[in-house]
Structure 1
């Protein structure tokens, strides 16, 4: 009996060993793109830094030139080491930049407020309560941005002259509002689509009216997107030049129109122009610095679907 069981046990052990040998998982080969992926990440970082430097360098050079004398601004090669002065800023202030800054601030702030008041309910309706022609409405909104402003300047000039609104700040407010409204609706719609529908349904079940749902539920969630939209509209309105230079003269002229005054038949006053441009960019920089946290969250809010 023992002589029969021993070979059987030996065979079973041998089969088990053979099975263990044959069923061992194969060793995974290294991915062919692994090394390329490890090398690509630092390369992308270097490219990002180079792109950032390329975009920032003109602003940095403008800031340096603003503290130079006019003679130092024209040197070849350019001077990196010089004696800084505030004479150019004094000259810009003496030329009366204050009213231009005030006109830009009034037109920009009021137009941004109007854009947000109009775009928020429109974006809410197009995102939460879409209708059959929602895509057509969205295309109509964005198609208005495709119209060249040069093609519309003559009718706008005639209309403004007819209603006696030439060289009037109200004209710029209306045009800036109409100019920024389409992009604001598109941005706010993408932000509203990120809000969970369960929250809206819960508020509706509790008996909250539409105005309460929008004010108490939706707006606190999309506040970063609202700040990002406001800042982008602020930048577009503050930097707008074509309407301001063609529809205003002196009373309602804005900062971009003021900057054109440094281009004369004698040439460019680079140092004074840089000082004026530095003052013109300060409101945008301050607004961006104040809303930087909300801006980052808002710009990334509607990016992932």
Structure 2
């Protein structure tokens, strides 16, 4: 009976996994098709592979958009970690007065729709002459991800045994030693999880990038949308561009999968 249930559950799991993964696989297959094969009403599984779609990406300068996305994601993620770790530390290990009020304030900044903040941001950036600037866009991404990072880091830091921290204090550890040499090595998987999630959010962000940039700082998501215009949808080259754009996130997730699982499990214990 248990074997039958186990096989049934395994089969259902495989069906669900294949259902979710198939669109990504089909996108990858379409990236090696010609436009005629990709746009065919009858799906073609047998075709002559071509790199035409990828060559068109090079001609349209996709490398600069990928560079902008990488810079914005790395800068914003670094800023988020530098700010979120001390803030979460103060809200967990060394709690401030009215912790819940502080936590609610942080998360309440995410309640406002992004469309409501775009006009003030546009005016501020225009007056400061930082429109179409990758560093200004990175600050927007950092402010967007900071509340979530603080909440996540607080849950990870709450898992640190207080006995370990008290022992370090008895041994004479000051604040910097306690934070960098005792606490952070314990929650390193959680930091990796937060960094990866913030990186993905920044890499995939479209709304602010398309409205606050024009040419110099435009990132990959608006570039992908440029393949859909009044003349139609260029499916093969769009699939090639989407495949290239997804690779950094997939690679980062694959490299950090152990830390990501450990970090998310760490925050879910309590």
**TM-score class normalised by the smaller sequence:** over 0.9
**Of the candidates 132, 150, 153, which is equivalent to residue 185 of structure 1?**
150
> Take 2:210 and 2:121, find their aligned partners in 1: how far apart are those partners?
13
* Cα shift at 1:137: 0.9
Paired with 1:216 and 1:198, the residues of 2 have a C-alpha distance of 15
Equivalent position of 1:83 in the other structure: 48
**Following the alignment from structure 1 to structure 2, what is the Cα–Cα distance between the partners of residues 49 and 172?**
40
Which position in structure 1 is the counterpart of 2:163? 198
* Cα-to-partner distance string for 1:54-75 (whole Å, 9 max, x where unaligned): 2211111110000000000111
Aligned to 2:100: 135
Q: CA RMSD in A?
A: 1.4
Alignment CA distance shift 1:296-1:133 (3 Å): same
Query: Partners of 1:176 and 1:151 in 2: how far apart?
Result: 16
| 2:238 paired with 1:279 | no
Distance 1:50 1:147 in 2: 38
Following TM superposition, by how much is the alpha carbon of 1:125 offset from its aligned partner in structure 2, in angstroms? 1.0
The equivalent of 1:112 in structure 2 is 77
The number of aligned residues is 270
The aligned counterpart of 1:269 is 234
Per the alignment, residue 58 of structure 1 pairs with 23
CA-CA distance at 1:39 after TM superposition: 6.2
Shift of 1:228: 0.7
Runs of 4+ in 1 over 6 A off after TM superposition: none
**CA distance, structure 2, for counterparts of residue 43 and residue 158 of structure 1:** 58
Give the match for residue 66 of structure 2. 101
The corresponding residue for 2:123 is 158
Choose the corresponding residue for 1:300, options 257, 265, 268: 265
Query: How far does residue 171 in structure 1 lie from its aligned partner after superposition?
Result: 1.6
Higher relative contact order (CA 8 A, sep 6+): 2
Match in the other structure for 1:214:
179
TM-score for the superposition, normalised by structure 1:
0.85
Query: How many Å separate the matches in 2 of 1:219 and 1:38?
Result: 43
| Structure ID, larger Rg | 1
Aligned to 1:170: 135
For 1:145, what is the secondary structure of its paired residue? coil
**Alpha-carbon distance in 1 for matches of 2:7, 2:144:** 40
> TM-score, structure 2 length as denominator?
0.96
Give the whole-Å Cα distance in 1 for the aligned partners of 2:37 and 2:252. Answer: 32
Aligned-residue offset at 1:92: 0.8
Structure 2 spans left out of the alignment, 5+ residues: none
